[in-house]
A = this chain, B = another copy of it.
Amino acid sequence: MDMEEGTSDSPGHRCDTDPDPWQWDRREDCEVRQILDRIADKWSLLVIALLQGRTLRFTELKRQIDGISQRMLTSTLRQLERDGLIERTVHPVVPPRVDYALTPLGSTLHSTVQALVTWTELNQNEIAAARARYDSAATSRA
């Protein structure tokens, strides 16, 4: 088991592992930071977006997110399952069949995630333009 470990902090949140308390805008503690890190994760985002209103199997997810390794997909799914955002259903058939779906909690996240994806789609051209501007300016300086 060299898989990345959840920090498995005991319920009743504390920050014993942290050298000094986080500040984050003076309002948040490390809990929020931790959760944010997880859901704002590169792969988590895609998984959540893909599971909107439907159930997908492991292989289907892997195919759709093409580029993800089975290791990272497994890891990501486990994290999301642990956080209660997705539900994992094992069908005792052979060959094995495992379905993944959003939980009610995960569904509430979806609209937010979708907003992020939509924003990206809408603004990708503007961002590309900004990058071009920035890069050409940098190049001319060099």
Q: Does the CB pair A24–B65 fall under 8 Å?
A: yes
Q: Does the CB pair A123–B135 fall under 8 Å?
A: no
A22 to B133, CA, bound (A): 26
Main secondary structure of the interface of A (DSSP, over half): helix
Please tell me the number of chain A residues within 8 Å of chain B, measured between CB atoms: 60
Q: Does the CB pair A105–B123 fall under 8 Å?
A: yes
| Interface flag for A25 (CB, 8 Å) | yes
| Interface flag for A81 (CB, 8 Å) | yes
CB distance from A3 to the nearest CB of B (A): 12
CB distance from A12 to the nearest CB of B (A): 8
A105 to B123, CA, bound (A): 8
- Chain B residues, Cβ within 8 Å of A40: 40-42, 45, 116
Contacts A25-B50, A35-B127, A128-B13 known; A84 to B134 CB distance under 8 Å?
yes
Q: Does the CB pair A124–B31 fall under 8 Å?
A: yes
Residue among B33, B115, B124 making CB contact with A32, cutoff 8 Å: B124
A residues neighboring B (CB under 8 Å): 6, 8, 10-11, 13, 18, 20, 22-26, 28, 31-33, 35-37, 39-42, 45-46, 49-50, 63-67, 81-85, 105, 108-109, 112-113, 115-117, 119-121, 123-124, 126-135
